Amino acid sequence: MAKPEHIPVHDAMKMVKYARNKKARIIGPTTPGIICPGKTKIGIMPANVFSQGNVGIISRSGTLLYEIAGNLSLAGIGQSACLGIGADLVIGTNLNEVLKLFEEDEHTKLVVIVGEIGGTQEEEAAKFIRKMEKPVIAYIAGRSAPPGQRMGHAGAIILGERGTAKSKIDALKEAGVEVVYKPSDIVNVAKKYVE
């Protein structure tokens, strides 16, 4: 189930706990949903920018998810599944959980992470990625955000040295992830793995 934004934190915590007890999965909050091009779409994503293929995309940003999927599609690189995990403090399905699903999915050959400053999901994911067999590409938004500036999402909180663009990029690179500095660069890197 996709969860919209503006849900109070305590309510979100109750929903996530309830879903886990029922062995259900919540995606979000602040998510555009999930799409498996040509098969399933749940949420508000514009289906016309996606195409069938074998690249899995996990994004904390809905808009960047559309842009990157659209660029890949225009280059003839389709997607197996794309989902926005959201960027609030309480997340129904986290980055590591989705990475595990993509690692196990026979249709996914490459994973793209679209992260952003705040929180520590990308740094935690770097630990999991070290054990993955599938290649991972990442883009981290917010490299030029002014220090101490509050960003739009509730989850965009930087915790000391963790949660910064630099700390995320460093952790991902150390895990063997190819990190790009512009969303448009993902296409050229993806071509090495899927063509």
**More confident position, 7 or 66:** 66
Over the stretch 82-95, which tens digit does the pLDDT of each residue have?
Answer: 999 987 778 889 99
Report the candidate in 134, 138, 122, 112 with the shortest Cα–Cα distance to residue 87: 122
pLDDT at 160 over 80: no
Q: Which CATH number fits domain 9-194: 3.40.50.261, 3.30.70.1140, 3.40.50.300, 3.90.1300.10?
A: 3.40.50.261
Q: What is the pLDDT of residue 90?
A: 83
Over the stretch 66-79, which tens digit does the pLDDT of each residue have?
Answer: 999 999 999 999 99
Percent of the chain with pLDDT over 70: 89
Q: What is the mean pLDDT of the segment spanning 85-106?
A: 92
Least confident of 58-62, 128-132, 176-180: 58-62
Least confident of 2-6, 47-51, 120-124: 2-6
pLDDT at 159 over 70: no
**More confident position, 61 or 159:** 61
Q: What is the pLDDT of residue 110?
A: 98
CA 187 – CA 57 distance, rounded (Å): 12
Q: What is the pLDDT of residue 181?
A: 96
Domain spans of the chain? Answer: 9-194
Q: What is the pLDDT of residue 154?
A: 46
Catalogue the active-site residues.
153
Over the stretch 23-49, which tens digit does the pLDDT of each residue have?
Answer: 999 888 888 999 999 999 999 999 999
